[in-house]
Chains A and B, each alone.
Chain A
Amino acid sequence: MIDDKILVWRFNRGSKDALCRIYEKYKDDLLGLAVTLLQDRSIAEDVVHDVFVSFASATGTFRLSGSLRGYLSTCVANCARDRNRLRAGRNVGLDSAEAKNSDCTGPLESAAGREESGRMDDLLARLPYEQREVIVLHLHHEMRFRRIAETLGVSINTAQSRYRYGLDKLRSIVNGMVTE
């Protein structure tokens, strides 16, 4: 947190090194969020690109109120939502998400992790975008419901109900898969 504040302070004074460090620190996390939300790597890359370029243009005037990770995640979520609206009506193939790696280090664990991660993507892709967004922001990015509600421009009750409906749907999908 303090590290982020120092980075932001330097970034506001025109330090490119600070911008590079911020990018290096959060790039994978943000790309992961965008890929999970959009299920399309190329669009996700564009989203991360737009977010960082927009962030870079705020040099000198950027004020950090919460955590930098939370701020950037919110930007990615907002940008991803806009992109999702743009491509509304178009079906997204589940195969388009690519290059995902697991946190596991060993080859067997890595393979198992990739399988699990891919399965999770398949599961999340079956949810409506609004529910997927809340679940991913809350469970993968540890964002509080209040913050999610602010980001989405909805009430906290709406955010929580989207989360519950999403979880119920996932649970039923998983149950169905178990019984098959």
Chain B
Amino acid sequence: MKRTENIEEYIRRGKPTVTTGESMDKRIVDDSFAVMDERLAVAKRSSAGAILSRKTMRLAAAAAVTIIVAALLLTLGRHTPNHPARPPQLAARSPATMVSMMSLRIAYQRGGWEALDSQFRTTLGQLGPGPSSLSMRQLLEGSNGS
């Protein structure tokens, strides 16, 4: 009998070596492969589903973007081309400054010929009809009070 002092070593050395049989190997390998195939098929199906769902998501996102862009274009298109032009603003308040070169130039820059014409009309309206003998200086002096 072995020494009992070192029972651990004794047990360690007594480890049995068991060999598997051919039929056991075949059974285990075949069953494992079958399970593995099944599992891989399921994984493929689920990954295909995931891709499909991603494609659906992509399509949905693309559709949403298209709708938003179309809505924006329609909204902008409704306002931009048919929007009535603002009435040209007068570049000055008093008739004297209205007919100054700077005021006329500003009016032209802001609204073109229409604004210039409007500014002239306003000036004439404020000044009103006067005798033709009056000079421009006299007219302006009377209007501005200077």
Contacts and interface: CB of A to CB of B under 8 A. Distances in A.
Interface of A: 14, 16, 19-20, 23, 27-28, 31-32, 35-36, 41, 44-45, 48-49, 52-53, 55-60, 99-103, 116-117, 119-121, 123-124, 135, 139-140, 167, 170-171, 174-175, 177-178
Contacts of A56: 31-33, 35-36, 39
Contact of A14 (B4, B15, B18, B40): B40
Nearest to A140: B15
Contacts of A44: 18
A19 B17 contact: no
B83 interface: no
A117 B18 CA distance: 10
A60 B40 contact: yes
B98 to A, nearest CB: 85
Contacts of B15: 32, 103, 117, 120, 139-140
Interface residues of B, number: 31
Contact of A49 (B7, B13, B31): B31
Interface string B1-36: 110100110111111111111001101110111011
16 contacts: A31-B20, A32-B18, A35-B16, A45-B20, A45-B24, A48-B24, A56-B32, A56-B39, A116-B13, A117-B15, A120-B11, A123-B14, A139-B8, A140-B15, A170-B7, A177-B1
A135 B12 CA distance: 9
B36 A59 contact: yes
A140 B29 contact: no
B33 A16 contact: yes
Contacts of B2: 174
B8 to A, nearest CB: 6
A117 B14 contact: yes
B48 to A, nearest CB: 14
B28 A52 contact: yes
A177 B2 CA distance: 10
B69 interface: no
B16 A23 contact: no
A52 B24 CA distance: 12
